[in-house]
Homo-oligomer: A and B are copies of this chain.
Amino acid sequence: MNAKVATSIYGPVQEDLQRVEDALERVKQVDGFPMLAKMLAHVLAGGGKRIRPAIALLAGKFGAYDGGLLVPLAASIELLHTATLVHDDVIDASPSRRGRDTANALFNNAASVMLGDFMFAHSAELIARTDNTDVVRLFARTLLAIAGGELHQDMSAYEYGQDTLTYFGRIEGKTASLFATSAEGGAMVAGCAPDRREALRQYGLNVGMAFQVVDDILDFAGDEAEMGKPIGSDLMQGTLTLPSLLLMDRYPKDNPIKRAFRTRKPKEQHVAEAVSMVRNSDILNESYAVARDFRERALASVRGLPADDARASLEAIADWTIERRT
């Protein structure tokens, strides 16, 4: 998403998204710790899509919108998200993310663990400003879900006996739960009625699922230069995603993934073979059909909401999750 696209689809919350950016800017200002300030500037660098904060603000438009509460909520979500990414990159020993060096690569693991904790603390501080302990509890449960999803991914690495149901459960925890919380949190802070709040939660959940399925497709289908990471990196890390699970389904007896995972040290040759088999089949089409199905569910969830420009933005975000190339 380039800046122009973001402007058009985030329309009604564009100004408050700038206030979210300002709040993140304030988090970066730490006196006396030049190293921490440098790390924060790196991981919170502008130019991120800020898709979760946008969803939170847009959800708030369906209730009593109060920027004084919604902006801290949205900033808190982005900090929580970034903190989990920083810790994930330590856990996975990832050298890069979206074409940029990770914190653990640039600095070191120890500093990155602290950096993540520091952002968790700031996230908690911002969430407390909503003055709503239900929202705090929602966030705590989300962090549990994210940790559970990540944990599951790590514990099940290189295990090729997984099914798609396990996969959907894992990505719900790892990714979709925070999208759901972004939408539901915005609705809660704006005091939406329960049915509207539930509709927005379902929207967030399904957009998050679509988002992650497409992420996993792009790990096979994307352009390395645009993606800023090598194709097949999930398989290199022992993570089975929808396309690889479909490949396993079709070739249950012998396939390059089994060969790649057997030693828990995948060979590039086996991964490349798996990528090529996926690309030369209809697996990516089938995976996109699954992603589109989640998108449709997201759209259906908001169909009962007023057809205003906030709803149009939510719909545009749902479409973008499918259309994006990176």
Contacts and interface: CB of A to CB of B under 8 A. Distances in A.
Interface of A: 32-33, 35-36, 84, 87, 90-93, 109-111, 113-114, 116-118, 120-122, 124-125, 127-134, 136-137, 139-141, 143-144, 147-148, 150-152, 154-155
A118 B144 contact: yes
Contacts of A154: 110-111, 114
A77 to B, nearest CB: 14
Given A109-B90, A117-B147, A118-B147, A141 B155 contact: no
A84 B127 CA distance: 20
A87 B114 contact: yes
Contact of A33 (B32, B87, B124, B155): B155
Contacts of A140: 121-122, 124-125, 127-128
Nearest to A30: B148
B113 A151 contact: no
B147 A87 contact: no
A151 B116 CA distance: 12
A78 to B, nearest CB: 16
A255 to B, nearest CB: 27
A133 B147 CA distance: 24
Contacts of A120: 117, 120, 143
Contact of A141 (B125, B139, B150): B125
Nearest to A108: B91
A147 B124 contact: no
B36 A151 contact: yes
A29 to B, nearest CB: 13
B87 A113 contact: yes
A10 to B, nearest CB: 28
Contacts of A116: 113, 117
A117 B146 CA distance: 10
27 contacts: A32-B152, A33-B151, A33-B155, A87-B113, A87-B114, A87-B117, A90-B109, A90-B113, A91-B113, A110-B154, A111-B154, A113-B113, A114-B151, A116-B117, A117-B120, A117-B143, A118-B147, A118-B148, A118-B151, A120-B120, A120-B143, A121-B140, A121-B141, A122-B140, A124-B124, A130-B133, A131-B133
Given A93-B110, A118-B144, A121-B141, 15 more contacts: A33-B155, A36-B151, A91-B110, A111-B154, A113-B113, A117-B120, A120-B143, A121-B144, A122-B140, A124-B124, A124-B139, A125-B137, A125-B140, A125-B141, A127-B136
A128 B141 CA distance: 11
Nearest 6 pairs between A and B by C-beta? A124-B140, A121-B143, A125-B140, A128-B137, A91-B110, A128-B136
A271 B132 CA distance: 51
Contacts of A134: 128
A176 to B, nearest CB: 17
Contacts of A141: 121, 125
Contacts of A139: 124
Contacts of A114: 87, 91, 147, 150-151, 154
